[in-house]
Structure 1
Amino acid sequence: MDEAQLNRSKKAAKALKSRVELIERHLKPLLQKDLLDTYNTLPINEKCQMDVLLSYAINTLYYMYIRTQGQNPHAHDVYKELKRVQKYIEKIKVAEGRGPKPTMKLDKGAAGRFVKAAINSPKNYERPEGASKKRAAPAVTEEESSDSSASSVEEKEEKVDVKGKLSTKKRARMDPFSK
């Protein structure tokens, strides 16, 4: 082995040692007590995180073991398990609000229905110049107003139109004692 390779391997070993020490410092509070006691004191979201973390760590270690044995880990079931656990990690991130933000998407089907309804709508037809949207109320003469004021009781006249709908119109009832 030449000197350049020896220096690279020494640097890699130092880097590995520093990272292992960093991991040990992070895990020290977790490993001081019994794992079950620590797990029971966690809130539900942190329990989920811990379950996923442990599952991912175990599967990753097994994945690396398979690689060191010269096998293809992508053909092994551990690869499928890692992908499944990664989906759970994403679900936890979304539940905590750290996941990807939703993007604005166009619903082409709904947009097409809106346009089609707007094109086929009778509202788009032009009205004649003199016509307005509201129907004008019929003019009431003085005689009619006095007759209707004398009679406080009204009858409903029911008719069935051509389409089979029932329509009701109010008709003034005549008072037999008036005149």
Structure 2
Amino acid sequence: MEAADLLPLLEQLDDNIDDLEEILQPVLDGSVVKTSSNLPVLDKAKFHVLVTYALESLIFSWLRLHGVNAKEHPVFRELTRVKQYFEKIKELETGPEQRTLKLDKEAAGRFIKHGLAGNDKFDLERKEREAKERARAQLKASLLAKRDSSTSDPPTKNASDESEYESDAESEDADEKPAPTTQKSKKKQPNDDKKRNKDKQRKKLNKDERKEVKKDRRKKKGDMRKAKNLK
């Protein structure tokens, strides 16, 4: 940096030192013990901590100006220790957190029962309340049991419905299968048709023709018998 740039900074430093001397003049004129003797305890602690912090910070600045690494110097540790005292003083000023009082209902109930143990009216009322509470508990338990039973019934119904559905399906399959008798009847239908046709033809023939047909049949049968006898 050039000298022209340093001049404004030096002037500012000179002004700050003058202000600091004016502030510290009451302390420098007398001793620390005399000035702090008339102060309350909390203000006295603040005064001692502030004086210590001011001295330590001046030493820290002097070391920095002379090119010494002030962070490695014991003064830096003293500054951190003084800062901790500042935090403790703040805690004392604000005070501890107020604890919220909590009422122990069970303990209060025990004390009340113990205090009213000799009162007959109170004992009767307490017994009636306990009986009502028990009755309510029993009703709730019975209602819950009924609900559980009602919820467990539908699955059995579903199972019976499924069995009925299966039986209906089997009956439908059985109905769809053709009966064996019908097949036989279907097989016999051609023979029946032949017989019917023959009957119709017979009706159409005259009586004479019928006789001739019978004679021819008899001849054929006789010839067949003769041939069998010859064999």
Please state which band the TM-score falls in when normalised by the shorter chain: 0.3 to 0.5
Instruction: Please give the TM-score of this superposition, normalised by the length of structure 1.
Output: 0.46
**Higher fraction of strand:** 1
**Higher fraction of helix:** 2
Query: Quick check: which has more Rg, 1 or 2?
Result: 2
